[in-house]
Amino acid sequence: MKRTWQLMWMLGFGLGLLGQTGPTFGLWSEGKVPGALGTGTNDVPTLTPYLPEKEKATGAAMVICPGGGYGGLARHEGHDYAEFLRGQGIACFVLRYRLGSHGYRHPVMLGDAARAVRVVRHRASEWNVDVKKIGIMGSSAGGHLVSTLLTHFDHLDASDEGADDLVDRVSSRPSLGVLCYPVITLGRYTHEGSKRNLLGPDPKPELVEFLSSEKQVKKDSPPAFVWHTWEDQAVPVENALMFAQGLREAGVKFDLHIYEAGRHGIGLATRPPAFENPHPWVADLVFWLKGQGFVK
């Protein structure tokens, strides 16, 4: 297995590291960030591009939402994912969204994710991206953020042709979603820290219901790749199972993978630049992305 992945790295995965990174930029113009509590780093959501070599680019893009319980942002679930996926020819954009640990609550995080998809779609020609191939990926609480956009994009996407901000004239609907050991429900099997950071200490029951994504899937929600591990002690595997059931009942296509081994927050189970011995979900994701036209 190790020799197989080393060979795959030599033939393709590592080429992404020859692409471009940055510069990081804000989702809104200076002084125009909605709901901002200040003007510091923690108050300004940003995207950091990771662009593949032009000759390797597939035209697909992925907005990546790191996990961290809505209280932090895990680098290995942002930077590392982006380095790997751009080696597959996907243009990646790591989102630094606003957090509960800095005083923010829903709907700020969801607004940041929706804006990120809109920005990539609005500037698609600049990055040689197909507007119909813009996905969103997240882990843990970042997976919850992804699930809320997959289920609530219609609440944000007015596609107002008369909007003053040109970015607001394009759709916030992702083409697909990738959810890694995600927080999904805010009910019995939730991760309490994520729920508290997102909604505060005493959320209204209707808001808990609205953001329990297993109950909110619609027939026009994008297809999803969902994976989790039986061993996860932080976010119960029931989260992934419940979301898959919601997708199934709504008639939305999905790939679901439950692995026995693997702790919460495992990410790729490896580090760049030589992505050796990754967790099996990585190969399963690449296979699925090929079927979606994101990978050649």
Would you give the distance in Å from CA 71 to the centre of its chain? 16
Helix (H) or strand (E) holding 63: strand 61-65
Q: What is the pLDDT of residue 273?
A: 79
Q: What is the biggest distance separating any 2 CA atoms in the chain, rounded to whole angstroms?
A: 55
| pLDDT above 80: residue 21 | no
Q: What is the pTM of this model?
A: 0.91
Distance CA 240, CA 105 (A): 24
What amino acid is encoded at 174 in this protein? Answer: P
Mean pLDDT calculated for residue range 33-44:
96
SS3 282: helix
Percent of the chain beyond pLDDT 70?
90
* DSSP label at residue 53: P
Q: What is the pLDDT of residue 160?
A: 56
Do residues 83 and 111 lie in contact, with contact meaning Cβ atoms separated by under 8 Å? no
Q: What is the pLDDT of residue 117?
A: 97
What amino acid is encoded at 10 in this protein? Answer: M
Quick: pLDDT tens for 168-209.
Answer: 889 999 999 999 999 999 999 999 999 999 999 999 999 999
Higher-pLDDT residue of 10 and 275 is: 275
| pLDDT above 90: residue 4 | no
Query: Domains of the chain, with CATH numbers?
Result: 2-21+40-291 (3.40.50.1820)
Helix (H) or strand (E) holding 49: strand 46-51
Cβ-count burial 244-254 (b if 16+ within 10 Å, e if not): bebbeeeebeb
Token code pair at residue 241: 């199972």
Q: What is the pLDDT of residue 64?
A: 98
Checking 7-14 for CB contacts under 8 A at 24+ apart, the result is 9/274, 9/275, 9/276, 12/56, 12/87, 12/88, 13/84, 13/87, 13/88, 13/275, 14/87, 14/273, 14/274
Token code pair at residue 253: 């296509």
What amino acid is encoded at 239 in this protein? Answer: N
Which pLDDT band holds residue 261 (cuts at 50, 70, 90)? Answer: confident
| pLDDT above 80: residue 274 | no
Helix (H) or strand (E) holding 249: helix 238-250
Q: Where are the alpha helices (DSSP H) in 61-107?
A: 79-86
Helix (H) or strand (E) holding 247: helix 238-250
| pLDDT above 70: residue 6 | no
Cβ-count burial 119-144 (b if 16+ within 10 Å, e if not): bbbbbbeebebbeebbbbbbbbbbbb
